[in-house]
Structure 1
């Protein structure tokens, strides 16, 4: 077996693992498809194994290939961490912080990214809206530096976390709707409205459904979507409503003609936190994000802004 494996070839392999298509992987690496194919075949020769199952198109990885992908993820992550650590020693960090956020946490993410960029002005941030399960998978595969997700019974093993805030739910509905005359809205009353809700693949929706069930309420959403922006878009100029988190309001506000009223609370408020892979040595980027999260006191800030809005 050859003892020389080029890092560039591992980068190409990880692009293929992410895209599962030679053409898209080549475009991701800014090279031609033949160049990518040659690099993968050379990697196979160097390791003395078959990595890719080939037919008319990409058909997946062999058992040995899946093991190589797993090692490549670790090796490339360690290389990136070494470079980031050297930058940190020179007093700067130019890496891109890769953050996966559940849709309900995306509106709160600017609180974190603004402080991270203020502390690391040469760095950049990439935010992706993902389900809690996808965040867990991509953290494990070293495809994310951190996740903004729920810290509950679906929390990811092998991670550590910093709690940021706890979700408080409010009904966003037309201000002149009779239900908005209450100081607090029951879930059974909210179920009677034309609700816009996240899809059932989202953890937030499962939490809201549990609150509905606690009051024996049955409902069928008028609109289901996979992003908070889409929910807001369907409120504009309509008589529809949605059940929002107060963490959305600092960035998205209350639509014109609408009002926000607190929902009856059933049980503890669900915690949202920053989650990172628990490994040694620790990721430099993840550690920088953790430091920001620990200093923010975001829960108190969101609660204060809500109290000012509702008052």
Structure 2
């Protein structure tokens, strides 16, 4: 059994299509098909349900995929460990980030790349639930997500910062005269918010419910960039995290005011699988997360921003 055959199998598991899996592995489709059949012959089982096209895996095949994920992850860890012993890390750190944490991710990646100049980073915007699944399947090295009752099991984490919510709205809107905005007042606006599949949206809904109000968003999107795009040339508003502002700022003609805080501020952190030996890449990311004191930096930037944009209040 060749490790390359396991690579092909994992590509097929990800793409669920022989042609796309072959393209992902930079081989011909017949080459990939022959390799999968060779793997089946070596193991003495049927792995793939075949018809005119890929129809899924057998029960034994699903188990082989699970083991293949572990084996390939350990191979990659061995190679990374050897690189570390030679004094350089050339791997690609795979990080899944919830949409609300994506704008803050450059603080992590910049320091990681400073410490490991030969490495690279791939960021994917994922839901908190998808981060949990991909960590368990060894498809990502770390996640940037909420540290709450929906945090992935079997992981360890480092808290990075706590979200503080602000209303981003046209600067001449009456609510921008307030020092703090209630969720009841915000609910009356044309809001652009994330979809209900996102943990951030569920947090916003809970804050609305805490004041006994319901609301109907004007726009729902699955990325922060999309929310900001819908603010341009409109009278719409969004409820942002202060962690977005260092990278995205406040759109021209808009201002930001703090929302009333109900309960503790939600924590965002870096999560990695809790396993021994620890992943070399995950350990390097954890070391960065533990050192940068991101919460203080974001809070300081927000304080500076409010000092510059402070206007009349009541």
Give the TM-score band, short-chain normalised: over 0.9
Q: Aligned partners of 2:277 and 2:51: how far apart in 1?
A: 40
Residues 152-301 of structure 1: matches in 2 within 5 Å? 152-301=148-297
In structure 1, the gaps of 5 or more residues are: none
Is 1:9 aligned to residue 8 of structure 2?
no
Aligned-pair CA distance for 1:153: 0.5
Q: TM-score, normalised by structure 2?
A: 0.97
Q: Which residue of 2 aligns with 1:105?
A: 101
- Match of 1:273, SS state, is strand
* Paired residues, number: 307
Separation in structure 2 between the aligned mates of residue 12 and residue 88 of structure 1, nearest angstrom: 27
> Which residue pairs with 2:67 in the alignment?
71
Q: Does 1:146 align with 2:145?
A: no
What is the DSSP-based 3-state SS (H/G/I as helix, E as strand, rest coil) of the residue aligned with 1:288?
helix
Give deviations 1:178-217, integer Å, cap 9, x for gaps.
Answer: 0111000000000010000000000000000000000011
Partners of 2:4 and 2:214 in 1: CA distance? 55
Find the residue that maps to 1:134 and give its secondary structure: helix
Deviation by residue 1:51-85 (Cα, 9 ceiling, x = unmatched): 00011111111011011001100000000000000
> In 1, distance between residues paired with 2:276 and 2:10?
22
Q: Which runs of 5+ in 2 are unaligned?
A: 308-314
Aligned mate of 1:50, from 46, 51, 57: 46
Q: Secondary structure at the match of 1:294?
A: helix
Moved over 4 A (4+): none
Give distance in 1, aligned partners of 2:29 and 2:266.
46
Is residue 122 from structure 1 mapped to residue 79 from structure 2 by the alignment? no
Aligned partners of 1:35 and 1:235: how far apart in 2?
50
Deviations 1:84-135 (A, max 9, x none): 0000011000000000000000000000000000000000000000000000
- 1:244 offset after TM fit, Å? 0.1
Asked if 1:19 corresponds to 2:15, the answer is yes
Give 1:218 deviation, angstroms. Answer: 1.4
Give 1:304's aligned residue. Answer: 300
User: What is the aligned partner in structure 1 of residue 25 from structure 2?
Assistant: 29
Partner-residue secondary structure (3-state), 1:247: coil
In structure 1, what is the Cα distance between the partners aligned to 2:77 and 2:253? 49
Q: Distance in 2 between matches of 1:172 and 1:30?
A: 46
Once the two structures are TM-superposed, the CA of residue 174 in structure 1 deviates from its matched residue by 0.1
Give yes or no for the alignment of 1:133 onto 2:129.
yes
TM-score, with length taken from structure 1: 0.98
1:12 Cα deviation (Å)? 0.3
Query: Which secondary structure state, in structure 1, belongs to the residue aligned with residue 304 of structure 2?
Result: helix
Aligned to 2:243, what secondary structure does the other structure show?
helix
